[in-house]
Structure 1
Amino acid sequence: MNHLDINQIKEILPHRHPFLLIDYVEDYEAGQYAVAYKCVTYREEFFKGHFPKEPVMPGVLTIEALAQTGAIAILSKEENRGKTAYFAGIQNCKFKGKVVPGDKIRLETKMIKQKGPFGIGEATASVEGKVVVRAELTFMIG
């Protein structure tokens, strides 16, 4: 298994606080897949307004965390080092549950298609074994 701590993640991804949304990578294979985690705390800035009386992590941020997980897989390929993975599309997205303070989100993105600078990743976010988001994410390497 290939592990990455936060400093190693920052060597691959251009994102920084408060927009770096993965805390550690449990395993990855360059160009194939990555499994990462986000530990959600009540201190997250977005909880101030989403929602003050019932804090819920915005679904689009869960999608972004999945995209960052996929970017670990793609940008860890030697030929992509130092590049950026951009969103090019989101297909078949389903929100199946909510993410709240105290949750530890398991983020898994597998590359299912690549052609030139474009590719598609099959992405799943889960909390305690229950799927909360599933989507196909299209990216472009720039």
Structure 2
Amino acid sequence: MNQKLLPHRFPFLLIDGTTNSEAGKWAAAYKNISENDWFITESQREMPFSLVVEAMAQTAACAGITGGDGLGLLSAVKKAERLGDALPGDRLDLFFEVTRIRRGFVFGRAKASVAGKPVAEAELSIFIQPS
């Protein structure tokens, strides 16, 4: 995981690494869910949906930063849908596909899955702030 790409650090860096990407087009990343993650408690056994959306947004930032430095900031979430759970021991696979770039905003579709089964989908927009 390129630490320069995202400014997030523990506990709010919600992707463990990128598996592949093409700047300005798409990015694939993953998060290994563990019993030791700060959001897993006795009463909360799955990764919260809001954090799954944030992990998708962090993946989107990896796709949206095209040239050199920049900072990807979540701008909007549309049509977010929870489709399943991500539990300890699961690998959450994340994918973001860019559909449009306009005036510093990156728009696209994000998906999260575990073992090929959908966990979440959303339409996201990210603002890329030049550094």
Which residue is equivalent to 2:64?
A: 74
Residue in structure 2 matching 1:63, options 38, 48, 53: 53
2:34 is paired with a residue whose SS is coil
Unaligned ranges ≥5, structure 1 = 1-5
Deviations along 1:71-103, one digit per CA (max 9) or x if unpaired, are 11112x11xx33211111111111010111001
Does residue 47 (structure 1) correspond to residue 40 (structure 2)? The answer is yes
Counting matched residue pairs gives 129
Q: Give, in angstroms, the shift of residue 54 of structure 1.
A: 5.2
* Structure 1 residue ranges, 4+ long, deviating more than 3 angstroms after superposition: none
Question: How far, CA to CA, are the matches of 1:54 and 1:60 in structure 2?
Answer: 13
Distance 2:62 2:108 in 1: 12
Give me the CA root mean square deviation.
1.1
Equivalent position amino acid for 1:68 in 2: Q
Residue 117 (structure 1) aligns with: 104
2:87 corresponds to which of 95, 100, 106: 100
TM-score, scaled relative to structure 1: 0.86
Q: Which moved more, 1:103-112 or 1:66-75?
A: 66-75
Please state which structure has a larger fraction of its residues in helix. 1
Match of 2:118 in 1: 131
Greater strand share, 1 or 2?
2
Percentage of matched positions with identical amino acids: 36
Letter in 2 for 1:11: K
Name which structure has the greater RCO, CA cutoff 8 Å, separation 6+: 2
